[in-house]
Amino acid sequence: MSRTRFTRRLPAAVAVAGLTLAVAACGGESSTSSEGTTAAAADQLKPNADLSQQTLQITVWDGYTPAELPQKVKEKLHVKDMKVTLHDTNEIAMTKLTAPGDSGIDVAFVSGQYAQALNAAGLLEPIHPELIPNLANLYPEATQLSYDKGNKYSVPYTWGTTGICYRSDLVKSEPKSWNDLLKPPSWADKKVTMMTTERWLALPALKALGYSLNTDKDDEIAKVKDALVAQKPHLLTYDDTTFGEKLKSGEAVMVEAWDGWCPTTDPKGNIKFVVPKEGSDLWVDTMVIMKSSKNKEAAHALINYILDPEIHSWAAENINYKVPNKAAMERVTIPKGSLLGIKPAELLNGESIIDLGQASTKYTRLSTEVTAQQ
């Protein structure tokens, strides 16, 4: 079983308000635009369209789908051609999808809050469930995601949460609170890391202070900044990608981590993961169809194909993220120590990070000010 590493999100210092500014440039239909056009759009799609006359182009993170996906799709769906373009981050995908003119993209993989922003800008095709019968494979919980209840404009691909990943053999007491990371005890001083991706940089302090992950209140964000600045002298470093390696080497003893990136299957068995008592997030990566797509029947057929249990289980087996597909997860052999066994109901305990529109710039400013602080 291979495990592919890829960068899902951009360090905050680089991701300067990409979401808000990119979408704002597109104009702003309301978030109900997809709902309002569903019936009309459905009339324009042909369930029995000749897919051999359609092509597909998707944009996705490197390593997030099987390398042989285009060839398999051409064989299975008989589309004329399929191309894959890669993006390193949500922000790069947004730049591509919101640029003037036709991006040529039919299906894009972006995180839930970014799908929400694209829909608010009127850029997404409503999902036509009659063309995706494999939607029935999703867990019921996956149809009730706060940014898109009913999967009206997005289909979830992977989901998970954020917590503290730690070396059980190197800590003197096992972490239970985000404060264990924010105010590390003396034995962990300069042996903890935090992620800098802006909403995740703020997450531990927001939860420790009892605030919503989606707060836009200036006084609460100011207190989060104070907590993060006070933490800095006690950090080993900020690290969004290699914190697992630092744990394995013993350079770090506790790190903020996405569940799928915490190497709990390490053969030595010393690396553990915990969701702190104050709670955490529920992150979701999705598939969306662009309204500009000229191959919408093929785009729906592609999503239906990916939701096939045999195909969708690939993601859990190869990138170590849970998939919101009950039939697919039932096919997966869960390795010892793996976090793939976290139940949907447990994930739903997490708070979804949603798009805050222009208020997102407050988090960009927060992360810039914190990371620049000497």
Q: Answer whether 241's CB lies under 8 Å from 7's CB.
A: yes
Chain segment 297-323, per-residue pLDDT in tens? 999 999 999 999 999 999 999 988 999
d(CA 215, CA 359): 9
Residue 84 burial (CB count, 10 A): 16
Where do we find the tokens 């494979």?
Answer: 137
* pLDDT one-digit tens code per residue, 107-165: 999 999 999 999 999 999 999 999 999 999 999 999 999 999 999 999 999 999 999 99
Instruction: Examine the pLDDT at 19 and tell me if it is beyond 70.
Output: no
Question: 43 falls in which pLDDT band (50, 70, 90)?
Answer: low
Mean pLDDT of 325-342: 94
What whole-number distance in Å separates Cα of residue 82 and Cα of residue 51? Answer: 11
pLDDT per residue over 164-208, tens digit each? 999 999 999 999 999 999 999 999 999 999 998 889 999 999 999
258 by Cβ neighbours in 10 Å (0-12 / 13-18 / 19+) ranks as buried
Percent of the chain with pLDDT over 70: 89
pLDDT band at 7 (very low <50, low <70, confident <90, very high): very low
Would you state the pLDDT for residue 125? 97
Q: How confident is the model over 229-249, as a mean pLDDT?
A: 95
Instruction: Please state the rounded mean pLDDT for residues 251-267.
Output: 95
Whether residue 16 is predicted with pLDDT greater than 70 in this model: the reply is no
Average pLDDT over residues 286-302: 97
Based on its alpha-carbon atoms, the radius of gyration of the chain, rounded to whole angstroms, reads 21
Give pLDDT, residue 305. 98
| pLDDT in the model for residue 198 | 82
Which residues lie closer than 8 Å to 359 by C-beta, 6 or more apart?
A: 216
pLDDT at 10: 41
Distance CA 55, CA 339 (A): 37
